[in-house]
Amino acid sequence: MESEKPILYNYFRSSSSWRVRIALELKKIDYEYKPISLIKDGGEQYTEDFTKINPKQEVPALQIDGHLLLQSLPIIEYLDETRPNQHQLLPNDAVKRAKARMIAEIINSGMQPFQNLNVIKRVAKETQSEDKKMEWIKFYLTKGFKAVESILQETCGKYCVGDQITIADLCLVPQVYSAKRFNIDMSEFPNATRVNEELEKIPEFIKAHAHRQIDTPQELKEY
């Protein structure tokens, strides 16, 4: 295993980046934070240099152990497999592992893509309407949270799947933040709300929060 300090290319408010930041904290991995602004000058994700790092022009990307890894969920699984001694994020039990991945996947493929910056910009452009854009986001986030909530009814303990922090929790916290940002009424989702509140108390989750990063704008910054 190479000893160079890992580099995380990310953006403070990117929910996919945030998942990986939580994993790095839980795994006690010291890393270099390379901010890639998704808004500055039309978006640094589109620069030639960053496109060489991630041809899909998205954050996060993680340089670690001599490898460049893309896609938050495979990155988290890699960290879990290579650092199994700290906070195991995929449960040993096959059923619990499947349920944790199920929740993570609903958020990863069924919610985040619909609120992704380039997608919502296109919706606003095609419809010529900010209201239609907000309706679009609200529709998909509400649909996703309905599904997550019904699974949590069966799986949750202190956290999404029992009392162990799993990959599902790493996805839930940034997604709840996004939902609140887009004015989704979370009172419809009491389990997701309660689990999120529990997770938000954990020091590693606090450290990884969008409002505590080096590229967090001053007006949002919490110390």
Ligand X SMILES: N[C@@H](CCC(=O)N[C@@H](CS)C(=O)NCC(=O)O)C(=O)O
Binding residues for ligand X, per CB under 6 A?
Answer: 14-16, 38, 43, 45, 58-60, 71-73, 108, 116-118
Minimum distance, C-beta of residue 41 to ligand X, in the bound complex (Å): 13
Q: Which is nearer to ligand X, 51 or 129 (CB)?
A: 51
Q: Which is nearer to ligand X, 18 or 198 (CB)?
A: 18
Minimum distance, C-beta of residue 60 to ligand X, in the bound complex (Å): 6
Minimum distance, C-beta of residue 178 to ligand X, in the bound complex (Å): 9
Q: Which is nearer to ligand X, 58 or 80 (CB)?
A: 58
Radius of gyration (C-alpha) of the chain in whole angstroms: 17
- Helix ranges, the chain (H): 15-26, 48-53, 72-82, 94-110, 112-115, 117-127, 130-155, 167-181, 190-199, 203-208
Q: How far apart are CA 165 and CA 174, in angstroms?
A: 15
Handedness of CA 139, 219, 44, 169 (dihedral sign): negative
Minimum distance, C-beta of residue 140 to ligand X, in the bound complex (Å): 14
H or E element: which one contains 62? strand 61-64
Minimum distance, C-beta of residue 175 to ligand X, in the bound complex (Å): 10
Q: Which is nearer to ligand X, 14 or 164 (CB)?
A: 14
Q: Which residues contact 155 (CB under 8 A, 6 or more apart)?
A: 96, 99, 103, 161, 162
Q: Which is nearer to ligand X, 140 or 191 (CB)?
A: 140
Place of tokens 């990117």: 14
Q: Which is nearer to ligand X, 16 or 213 (CB)?
A: 16
Minimum distance, C-beta of residue 53 to ligand X, in the bound complex (Å): 12
> Amino acid identity, residue 136?
W
Q: Which of 23, 26, 35 is nearest to 78 (CA)?
A: 23
